[in-house]
Structure 1
Amino acid sequence: MSVIVLVNNEPISDQMVQKVMKRLLVEIQENEEDFELTKENKKFVKTEALNYLIDRTLILQEARKEGIDIDNKALLKHFEEIKLTFDSKEEWEKSLEELELEESELFEEVRKDGIVELYLLRHGLEDVDFTEKELKEFYEENKDYIREPDKFSFYEIFFDNLESAEVIYNLLSEIRVKSKVLKELSDRELEFLYHSDVSDNKVPQELLEMIEDSEGEEDTFLISGDDGYYVYKIVDVKPGREVSYDEVKKELAEYLIEKAKQEKFEKIVSELLDKADIKYVDTSFLED
């Protein structure tokens, strides 16, 4: 075990960071299907885990000073409720194994999370609300962006060499009629994929950026990938429908409340960081 940083003389070790990393990775992989643990992403997750531990350590230290603790009976009840969210004992044990935690260790983590929550409650994190007027004003200011996603239909053709990709790219760039695209690809006996009504958040990121940069002037794109070259031909775009205030009111309130809470949390942590004594001892773990 190696100490990475001292937070007011309280050590945070590489093992502690490693365990938080496991939790973060589970959350990330649940939300991002395409997430890959590249060297760059691994370093990012390590840094996020370390920052999380520093923030939490500072809050727990302040909570101790203020005598904040969580009732053991309530904690036991909450912990049992967490266990009941799993379909079986085997699933619960598998989850612990994936997180590389003993049940007693997870219990302690839940206890600390509870203390942090109580501290934040005492310091006004939940004192956030928005009036109907404020919600409507936010909607009016942002309604151009509050809409259903645009949908794209496009052909995707893969090539393992640039020369072939450029030939088809140049050919498709000249075609404006959808049926002719299919005819050209079929006549040339090319393998292709046709994607219909794909929401903009599902379109490959680099392709979406190129579409946006072209401002509607181009519909054919050539992209270099790790395994070869991709030619995309956009044949249809359906602009997203503007969503009414009544449709989005609940989500707007939730978004603004969470945003305000996050800003309050960051302010609390920032103030604690300003007066904290933080000494980095060995950061080589973050570089591995």
Structure 2
Amino acid sequence: MVFNLNRITASIPIVLLVFLGTSPVFGHSGHQQEDAPTISIPDVVAQVNGTNISKDPIIRELKKAIRTYKKKGMPLTPEQEKTAARKLIEDEIDRTLLVQKAKAIGVDITNPMVESKMGEIKTQFKSDAVFEHTLADEGLTLDQYRVELKTDLYMEQVIRKEIQPAIRIDEKELKSFYDENKDKFGGEEKRRASVILIKVNPKGGPDAEIMARKKIESIYDQLKNGADFASMAQKHSQDSLKAKGGDLGYFARSQMFAPFAERAFKMKVEDLSEIFQTHLGFHILKLTDIKPDKIPAFDDVKKEIAGHLREMRAAEATRKYVQELRKTADVKTYF
């Protein structure tokens, strides 16, 4: 199972990203100067068993964090930038320790292996140009990405050789996880409804709202007396769905306009809502069907559960493994 938040990192096992606490953000940077950190970072941020760690990957990842939080309306303060930088440096130290361990146990990642992996990743993009443009948006050149990819491949091999063989998941654990998390396996319940909309002329003043309300009330009375909803929608509704009899199709609660969803998910099939008003006008909803969430059988998801638990166990085991490597390592930090 691979990490799938973005296609550039899709080659990296999720265990590496869970272990490192990484959360890649794939957004268009535009290489804007204002995304640069406000803090000063030395050229060499740390040294691990004589190997220097450059500030370059730290600044690159810090820029992403600055950009992400700025988009959320929460720009980082200089103190928060320092905290983020220190965490990134610690992560880079851990990566370096794993690469050094990989080489110590005889792992050799050759350039052809890196190119082969890069070729796999490129197939997920429409063209090489799109791939390279995406890298540029992440602040990476092709050569820099090759270095990053080679590091990830070293780390992956250490985890496969030193950590994953010791991980065992038995049937009892799988079943226990399934029973405790059944609600997470099912799809979200969906409902189907139809709507009639009567708009209020924004230039008509108070009289326009009164006229619109009278019209929807007349329609509502006819529906209550047995008129066909689809026919009434085709005849009277004032939105793009009128040709379809007002049919909204199936939708999950999170997918639908909130005033519709909060009513539809309280109704029974064939129920009519009360008349209600939104900024669009006056509405009537009719619930036409319910598609309950379906929880898959244990045997159908057992393999997925095993993979998930194995990745989580490997991530925790990797943290402990690196902690042991740190005990005998010569680590110096300069930030």
* Structure 1 length-normalised TM: 0.54
Match 1:84 to one of 101, 109, 123: 123
Q: In the aligned structure 2, how far is the partner of 1:48 from the partner of 1:146?
A: 33
- What are the within-5 Å matches in structure 2 for residues 204-243 of structure 1? none
1:95-244 alignment runs, 5 A limit: 95-125=134-164, 127-140=166-179, 198=253
Q: What is residue 258 of structure 1 aligned with on the other side?
A: 311
**What CA distance in whole angstroms lies between the structure 1 residues aligned with 2:76 and 2:122?**
34
Measured in 1, the distance between the counterparts of 2:184 and 2:142 equals: 45
Aligned residue number for residue 27 of structure 2? none
Match of 2:93 in 1: 54
Matched length? 196
Secondary structure of the corresponding residue to residue 163 of structure 2: coil
Q: Give unmatched runs, 5+ long, in structure 1.
A: 152-195, 204-239, 283-288
1:144 Cα shift? 8.6
Once residues 145 and 15 of structure 1 are traced to their aligned partners in structure 2, the CA distance between those partners, rounded to angstroms, is 40
- CA–CA separation in structure 1 for the residues paired with 2:321 and 2:176: 28
- Secondary structure, counterpart of 1:54 in structure 2: helix
The equivalent of 2:204 in structure 1 is none
Which ranges of structure 2 fall in alignment gaps of 5 or more residues?
1-41, 191-250, 259-291
Per-residue CA deviation, residues 143-194 of structure 1 (Å, 9 max, x unaligned), is 698887899xxxxxxxxxxxxxxxxxxxxxxxxxxxxxxxxxxxxxxxxxxx
Larger RCO (alpha carbons 8 Å, 6+ apart): 1
Tell me by how many angstroms 1:69 deviates.
0.9
Q: For the Cα contact (< 8 Å) 1:17–1:46, is it kept in 2?
A: yes
Give me the whole-angstrom Cα distance separating, in 2, the residues matched to 1:83 and 1:2.
Answer: 32
- The CA deviation at 1:266 is 0.9
- Structure 2 counterpart SS, 1:70: coil
RMSD: 3.8
Give me the whole-angstrom Cα distance separating, in 2, the residues matched to 1:107 and 1:85: 17
Aligned to 2:111: 72
Distance 1:150 1:54 in 2: 45
> Are 1:7 and 2:57 an aligned pair?
no
**Aligned partner of residue 279 in structure 1, secondary structure:** strand
Bigger Rg over Cα: 2
- Shift in Å at residue 64 of structure 1? 2.3
Q: Verify the 8 A CA contact 1:4 1:281 in the aligned structure 2.
A: yes
Q: Residue 7 of structure 1 contacts residue 279 of structure 1 at CA under 8 Å; is this kept in 2? A: yes
Please list the CA deviations of residues 215-257 of structure 1 after superposition, one character each: whole Å capped at 9, or x if unmatched.
Answer: xxxxxxxxxxxxxxxxxxxxxxxxx989576275454333312
Letter in 1 for 2:54: S
Alignment partners' CA distance in 2, 1:13 and 1:120: 24
Change (3 A) 1:118 1:198: same
CA distance in 1, matches of 2:185, 2:130: 40
- Kept after mapping to 2: 8 A contact 1:126/1:261: no
Checking the alignment, whether the CA contact within 8 Å between 1:139 and 1:245 is kept in structure 2 is: no
